[in-house]
């Protein structure tokens, strides 16, 4: 595929076939991921590929109540608004069928190899993840290029102690995400739902229109 078409159609895949994903493809997407940039090239990210059915079920059992809690907040209007029609239904379906996705990849990071340069600005640090998620996106783009669907999830990080115990993840690592990987049961979107460029890109001063955007 053309790179730009991969970028424009890599969605969060909510519906998967249960067909196996070959080891060669899993290796291919992980290999794409490792070319991502990281601060000082420290490469803090490691991956645990979970194919074992019992462990996938265990991850599902940890994920489901966390998602149910978020879903309740969405449903009550406490968080979130303006979703696309069907969004919550699709995400709920994804959660309910998580154990059936053939591959789950738990993303880990060596916390000591991450330097959040904005840690002392008196607000939430956002650079803490900046040596982690470029690799995740590389993986998802490589998957899309092979016709595989994927979804980046972070809710499972709330169950980090349990996930680390289940997968024997060393103490010094943080869990950063869980990516699902499998063959999509529905076609990829022709176009993702994203803000117009003119709303998010500016020239020389924030808020000044960028010509051509
Ligand atoms: C940082 C991050 C965290 C996310 N966490 C979750 C999650 O825990 N569970 C989930 O179902 N989707 C999760 N998503 C997927 C988003 O809901 C999805 O990317 C977004 O709705 C856009 O979907 P689309 O690409 O299909 O348009 C996450 C995405 C990102 C970037």
pLDDT tens, 181-201? Answer: 999 999 999 989 999 999 999
- 209 assigned to some structural domain: no
How many domains is the chain built from?
A: 1
- Mean pLDDT, residues 144-162 taken together: 98
Question: E-strand spans in 66-154?
Answer: 103-110, 149-153
Cβ of residue 84 lying under 6 Å from some atom of ligand 1? no
Per-residue confidence at 83, pLDDT binned at 50, 70, 90? confident
Task: Quote the domain boundaries for residue 155.
Answer: 3-200
- Please indicate, yes or no, if residue 34 is contained in any of the structural domains: yes
- Residue 27 placed within a domain: yes
Confidence (pTM): 0.97
Q: Which of 90, 104, 91, 14 is nearest to 59 (CA)?
A: 104
Q: What is the mean pLDDT of the chain?
A: 96
Q: What is the DSSP letter of 62?
A: H
Residue 211 lies in a domain: no
207 part of a folded domain? no
Question: 87-112, pLDDT tens digit by residue?
Answer: 889 999 999 999 999 999 999 999 99
Tell me, what CATH number does 142's domain have?
Answer: 3.40.109.10
Q: Is 152 in the pocket of ligand 1 (CB under 6 A)?
A: yes
Q: Is the pLDDT of residue 85 over 80?
A: no
Write down the pLDDT at residue 82.
Answer: 72
Q: Is 94 in the pocket of ligand 1 (CB under 6 A)?
A: yes
CA-nearest residue, atom 29 of ligand 1: 152
**Interval between CA 204 and ligand 1 midpoint (Å):** 31
């Amino acid at each position: 595929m053309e790179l730009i078409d991969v970028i424009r159609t890599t969605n969060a895949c909510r519906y998967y076939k249960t067909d196996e994903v070959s080891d060669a493809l899993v290796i291919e997407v992980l290999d794409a991921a490792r070319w991502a940039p990281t601060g000082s090239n420290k490469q803090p990210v490691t991956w645990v590929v979970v194919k074992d059915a019992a462990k996938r079920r265990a991850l599902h059992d940890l994920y489901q109540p966390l998602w149910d809690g978020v879903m309740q907040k969405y449903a009550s209007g406490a968080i979130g608004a303006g979703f696309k029609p069907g969004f919550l239904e699709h995400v709920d379906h994804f959660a309910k069928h998580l154990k059936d996705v053939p591959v789950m990849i738990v993303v880990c990071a060596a916390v000591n190899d991450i330097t959040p340069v904005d840690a002392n600005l008196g607000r939430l640090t956002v650079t803490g993840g900046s040596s982690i998620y470029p690799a995740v996106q590389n993986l998802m783009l490589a998957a899309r290029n092979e016709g595989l669907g994927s979804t980046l999830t972070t809710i499972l990080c709330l169950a980090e102690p349990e996930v680390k115990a289940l997968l024997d993840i060393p103490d010094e690592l943080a869990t950063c995400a869980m990516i699902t990987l499998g063959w999509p049961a529905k076609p990829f979107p022709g176009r993702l739902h994203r803000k117009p460029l003119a709303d998010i890109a500016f020239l020389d001063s924030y808020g000044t229109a960028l010509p051509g955007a």
